[in-house]
Chain A
Amino acid sequence: MMASTSDTTGIRIGMWIFLYSEIILFGGLFVLYAVYLYEYSELFAQGGKELNRIIGSLNTVVLLASSCTVAASITAIQRGKKGQAMACLAVSIFCGLVFVVNKYFEWGAKIHHDIYPNSATLQDGEPGLNIFFGLYYVITGLHGLHVIIGMVLLTTSLVLVHRGRITASRYAVLENSGLYWHLVDLIWIFVFPLFYLVL
């Protein structure tokens, strides 16, 4: 992160604390999910069936793959293989892009069917469905925002590797961007079953 010191353990502690705060941020939303799932379990099940499991699974695979390539890029830079590291990062960023594009089409289809916050269908329909899709948009939207931030971080790392600012002896920025990306992945691992699978 932003330290002038060479104490990588300290830099890592700072990053982990930050990631922890991100988990709490999503935790607030998961609390809402838990309470409303208890209150409207049947309507949540009904809403969950309207989500496309294939796109959801595809996005899960894409994110998991990108986490793998991010981890690989760190190993590559540790071994001094700059080209490999850049290639791995490029693949990760591409995967992130695929995820966002998929999400765009998924949201687009929902909005096309008049399912979005404050739409007539949701307003006049069952309150439980409105809550389900409200949470769906808020949680996947906030997660999507994090995917985009993660892509910006990975792109920054890519540029820094290219310029030789991230090297085998100094790669804290890359490592922390990677940690952030894993967090984005981890949150999705919870979001995916909650909306697409368990219902």
Chain B
Amino acid sequence: MTTAQSYLEHSSPPGRRGWKAWLLTHDHKRLGLMYLWAILFWFVLAVLLGLLMRTELMGAGRTIMGAETYSSMFTLHGVIMIFFFGIPAIPAIFGNFFLPIQLGADDVFFPRLNLLSWYLFMFGGGFAIFSLFFGDGFPDTGWTFYVPFSISSAGNVSLTVTAAFILGMSSMLTGLNFVTTFHRLRHKGMGLMKIPLFTWSLYATAWVQILATPVIAITFVLVVLERLLAIGLFEPDRGGDPLLYQHLFWMYSHPAVYIIILPAMGVISEIIPVFSRKAIFGYKGIVYSSLAIAIAGSLVWAHHMYTSGMSDVSVFVFSLLTFLVAVPSAVKVFSWVSTMYRGSIAMSPPFFLSLCFIYLFTVGGLTGLVLGAAGTDIHVHDTHFVVAHFHFVMLGGTGFAFFAALHYWWPKMFGVLYRNRPAYVGAVAAAVGFVFHFVPMLILGMQGMPRRYYDYLPQYETGNFLAGFGAYLLVFGLLLMLLNLVLSLRGRRTAPANPWGGTTLEWTVPSPPPVENFTATPEIKDFPYDFSEIVANSKK
């Protein structure tokens, strides 16, 4: 196998050269890379916006920006992180790249539709940038676009909402593609219980994307229509009910956090067994818990609305359902920990980041129970506690899993190895910074500091200062890891086909993979996490 056959050298369809080989490609791997660069751009941008916000909050009163700028900052940070990073990151980059390979297929089922999804993503991004510089100023509603403020706000809400609508279509079409690929292009010898867990998690996610995204689409259409035509469907003085907006919004946006976290759990389920040199504990349990999270997670949306004026019965039912979601999530955490038990641990950057994930995600999950219980939620609702909980799950969870995935699959995607030391330093800095950043926010929330305020009472100053300090350390760690990865592209150290000792199909093909993924018919194992061969080879 020479690298000359790799997808980086040869285009699909064949014969395309220059920019056409990329911008008109049908190759799921090239599309994965194109998503990678676009999404990293948005991620770094939103990280820097977040850093500016925390800098503002480091001291009481006005520090570096005014209240209105601050409102726009947290809106943009939220919109970008949710719609441009969280939802697409793992499915669009790693899902596109590895789902077909893990299934033993040569591409996704609808390659041209896949290209269209990428264009929709870029188009939505262009729209979002456009909305910043044209119209009546930055949107300032928060990423939730709650009515009636989102209808009366002078900011350029319509364009931002439209951008999110377009991104939703992109995400839904990717989900559609994955489901069809999963059913129709899976290798004939691969039964349902032989599928790698990352692909299983993407499958569960894809269904949530398909089920839930149209609801946010129609909700955003209604917001735009209200702004343009003033129909009054959500305005009380015209007979509308703002609570209905919240229902529709969360009917998508709560499942959306499972769209964000499920693929991350899939990544961790891949990494933990490889570096424990031991079959994953409870394979079926993890598969079924992914599906259970997808189903149960779609039925808990109104736990965002305990204080919005729902009936007590609704509050009780949604609180109960919310607690049920904790069960399959805990099944996964216990499975990962049990996999490591008596394993032969080989420390590596992706494994270290996965350990951070388990720790931070567990804190996020447990604080979620505080919010899921109606009684305690009343106390901490709309405080910094919510912000901290959310970031423990989304950044501590999905963010760290995203970096774990980057470090795990980078050698396969680009055929180069990165340096371990900067990766470890970055990961430690990010994890320590993370704790410094968000633990004070949990406490501030308990003490009653509201979210989305640009100023606060003097007693909150120490906590906010510490959080700001943590933010700088966190951002330093994240950027160091990214820089280290990008610098590895100079290609000093080429990666072998299987640098980690992985057992899933992507590790049987060269790094980087050839255009059609497999040069010979892939051999499907009875169990995707059978390490007996890897362990036997390492003893020689």
Contact = CB atoms under 8 A, between A and B. Distances in A.
A35 B184 contact: no
Interface stretch (A66-74, A76-84, A98-106, A122-130): A122-130
Interface stretch (B107-115, B190-198, B382-390): B107-115
A72 to B, nearest CB: 28
B501 interface: no
B110 A31 contact: no
Contact of A2 (B112, B218, B221, B231): B112
Interface in B198-229: 210-211, 213-215, 217-219, 221-222, 225, 229
A25 to B, nearest CB: 4
Interface in A103-145: 117-118, 123, 126-131, 134-135, 137-138, 142
A130 B239 contact: yes
A127 B239 contact: yes
Interface string B89-115: 000000000000000000001111100
A14 B244 contact: no
Contact of A134 (B211, B213, B218, B233): B233
A27 interface: yes
A2 B172 contact: no
Contact of B231 (A17, A26, A36, A118): A118
B239 to A, nearest CB: 3
Contact of B248 (A17, A31, A135, A138): A31
Interface residues of A, number: 41
Nearest to A135: B233
A9 B184 contact: yes
Interface stretch (B118-126, B175-183, B350-358, B467-475): B175-183
Q: Is the interface of B mostly helix, strand, loop or mixed?
A: helix
A169 interface: no
A186 to B, nearest CB: 16
Interface residues on B, range: 35 or more
A36 B243 CA distance: 12
B507 to A, nearest CB: 26
A21 interface: yes
A118 B229 contact: yes
A25 B113 contact: no
A127 B237 contact: yes
Interface string A1-22: 1111101011001100110111
Interface of A: 1-5, 7, 9-10, 13-14, 17-18, 20-22, 24-29, 31-32, 35-36, 39-40, 117-118, 123, 126-131, 134-135, 137-138, 142
23 contacts: A2-B116, A3-B109, A4-B112, A5-B109, A9-B184, A10-B183, A14-B176, A17-B179, A17-B180, A21-B172, A22-B214, A25-B215, A28-B215, A28-B218, A28-B248, A31-B244, A117-B232, A127-B232, A131-B233, A131-B239, A134-B232, A138-B225, A138-B231
Interface of B: 26, 109-113, 116, 172, 176-177, 179-180, 183-185, 210-211, 213-215, 217-219, 221-222, 225, 229-233, 237-241, 244, 247-248, 251
